[in-house]
Amino acid sequence: MSPDPADAWALPRLVLAAPASGHGKTTVATGLLAALRRRGRTVSPHKVGPDYIDPGYHALAAGRPGRNLDPWLVGPERIAPLLRHGASRPTPADIAVVEGVMGLHDGAVGHRGYASTAHVARLIDAPVLLVLDTTAQGRSAAALALGMRAFDPAVRIGGVILNRVGSPRHETLLRDALAEVGVPVLGAVTRAAEVTAPSRHLGLVPVAERAPESLAVVAALADLVESTVDLDAVLDLAGTAPPLTVPAWDPAGAVGGPAGTARPVVAVAGGPAFTFSYAETAELLAAAGADVVTVDPLRDPALPTGTRAVVIGGGFPEVHAEALAGNTGLRAELAGFDGPIVAECAGLLYLGTALDRVPMCGRLPHTARMTGRLTLGYRDAVAATDSPVHRAGDPVRGHEFHRTTTDPGHGDRPAWRWDDAAHGFVAGRVHASYLHTHWAGHPHAARRLVEAASR
């Protein structure tokens, strides 16, 4: 039976964090999710920050959608409600596992830890399990754990998992040092046993691009965690989290109910080339009255029957450019589609005339190319032009994450302004830019899109 959204819910939960990126959070988090699922637990997977790729591995391990918890994108007041919402769907979870981002206290630059893993741990009142890369480190690991614990007393570090341990003697040294400072060790992963997923220019290769191999990686990670981590101790730690007393986030309440009775078909791009989408996007569109369907621009020759609006999120069109170009029927349909189109990052590239000289849809007048420069960071944006998703002047927080550039960088009617510059394109009923947004933070976008599709 699902918990009443208004009642307190004793949901066991914990946050997996690290002192910095590269310590093995995703390895441990994915393996832990899969190992707990093997035990018969219903596990709700979550990721701090805007990242789309790790939640794909989480979803594969847990058997339910991986969801993001990002105070910058949705506001701190929605973090605990979104956790409760995600942990309740499709069935109530027995435990929630939240993978952190970067280092424990690293958040939005210049905002003193805002949107950090520590910030989210405080917002959901969950204990932290610290993953430590112990390569070339002995007793100093205890000093590091102690410093992480003391830096913010409101963040409760309940234990550590030692990663990349060199030998049994090394493990004994580490355990003895951490015992001196009263930090429990809940697991120790040796360097020889480490399992990794392949990566490229923007991080791990998404699950959708390598499904059979991803299944094997997740299974290997489950084996790894089962053999090196004290799962009973992890469950005990998660059980120390107090009941969630906030109501669950409700997509219907967020959009104000259906925008009408028409139920327009809204096609959301998916498949290996367009893997970046938050689960709440489809939920908000459906709550606003849309019939949400998926279109794969690599394989589907046309939009689904009756499509009245299209959403094309992020992904890796640069990896699949030739195959996207080869689907000439869908490209031509999108070039002439008269309904509203919303495109973010990969969608922006796909709607242009060419990507690395390979023809794309030609709906927008820019060309795009790969560069050696990574553009990454949170953005405080303002909608520059009225569009199917925003009114001019609407403030929106988002993030950028790409190694491509477009020429020109914006149209005569730009989508956004930030840092005193124009960005993106609004052309007719098309809204396209590099900015990734989370519609739970501004649900009016979903309602406006459904209203525009219904007209």
- Annotated catalytic residues are 345
Give the residue among 314, 316, 291, 317 at the shortest CA–CA distance from 304. Answer: 291
Q: Please check whether residue 189 is in contact with residue 224, taking contact to mean a CB–CB distance below 8 angstroms.
A: yes
The owner of tokens 């105070």 is: 71
Cβ atoms of 399 and 379 within 8 Å: the answer is: yes
Q: Which of the 8 DSSP states describes residue 307?
A: E
**Local structure of 321: helix, strand or coil:** helix
Q: Which residues contact 431 (CB under 8 A, 6 or more apart)?
A: 340, 341, 342, 343, 387, 388, 389, 390, 415, 424, 425
Could you tell me where the DSSP H helices lie in 191-242?
211-228, 231-238
Question: How buried is 363 (Cβ within 10 angstroms: 0-12 exposed, 13-18 middle, 19+ buried)?
Answer: buried
**Would you mind telling me the total number of residues written for the chain in this entry?**
455
Cβ contact 153:120 at 8 Å? no
Residue 76: is the preceding peptide bond cis (ω within 30°)?
no
Going from the C-alpha of 427 to that of each of 194, 346, 395, the distances in angstroms are: 49, 17, 20
Tokens (6 digits) for 150: 């003391």
Residue 403 neighbours by CB distance under 10 Å: 15
Cα distances from 64 to residues 45, 123, 275, 279, in angstroms, run: 8, 23, 16, 11
Quote the CA–CA distance of 229 and 252 in Å, as a whole number. 40
Dig out the tokens for 40 from the structure: 């018969």
Other Cβ atoms closer than 10 A to 190: 18
> How far is residue 178's CA from residue 440's CA, in Å, rounded to a whole number?
41
Cα dihedral 359→271→55→277 (10° resolution): 70
Query: Under a CB-based contact definition with an 8 Å cutoff, are residues 58 and 101 in contact?
Result: no
